[in-house]
Amino acid sequence: MMEINLLIQLTKATSLGRDLFPEDKIEKSNDKTVYSVANSIKLQHNYTILQASEGIAEVISITLLLSSNIALNMACNLASTYLYNKMEKHKDKMAGLLVRRKRTNNDPNDIAQAFLQEIEELEKDENKL
């Protein structure tokens, strides 16, 4: 299973967490909230930080879980489109999206490309072991 860590930064507290993880469609796995975007593509909610400050007021940590038996291009495109559609509703409050600490544009193609680059790096690291 491939795991890609994401951080979504917002300038104001929003309902994005509830939008990403609709209550009637979530499951629990190891005390984490998981939403199935599509077959073999899941988002896991790790944590949300709310802070009363200027700049970044909310940070949502998510892990994208991809089954090893899935076409990666298609999976990345589906996951990025899902994320983009949910984040677009809050675009006036978006401060950034980080894929493993690398900032990416809030665009489905850029998000998918960031996922694919991260998978490539993970595979390189795996081959070093």
Could you read off the pLDDT of 84-113 as tens digits, one per residue?
999 999 999 999 999 988 899 989 999 999
Q: pLDDT tens digit string along 46-73?
A: 999 998 777 788 999 999 999 988 899 9
Note the pLDDT tens digit of each residue in 18-37: 999 998 889 988 889 999 99
Residue at 71 is within a domain: yes
Q: What is the CATH number of the domain that holds 93?
A: 3.30.1400
Instruction: Please count the structural domains in the chain.
Output: 1
State yes or no: pLDDT of 14 exceeds 80: yes
Q: What is the pTM of this model?
A: 0.89
3-state helix, strand, coil in the chain (%, to 5): 40, 35, 25
Q: Is residue 129 part of a domain?
A: no
Quick one: pLDDT at residue 29? 83
Q: Specify if 128 maps to a domain.
A: no
Contacts of 54 (CB under 8 A, 6+ apart): none
53 is in which domain, residue-wise? 2-122
> Does a structural domain hold residue 111?
yes
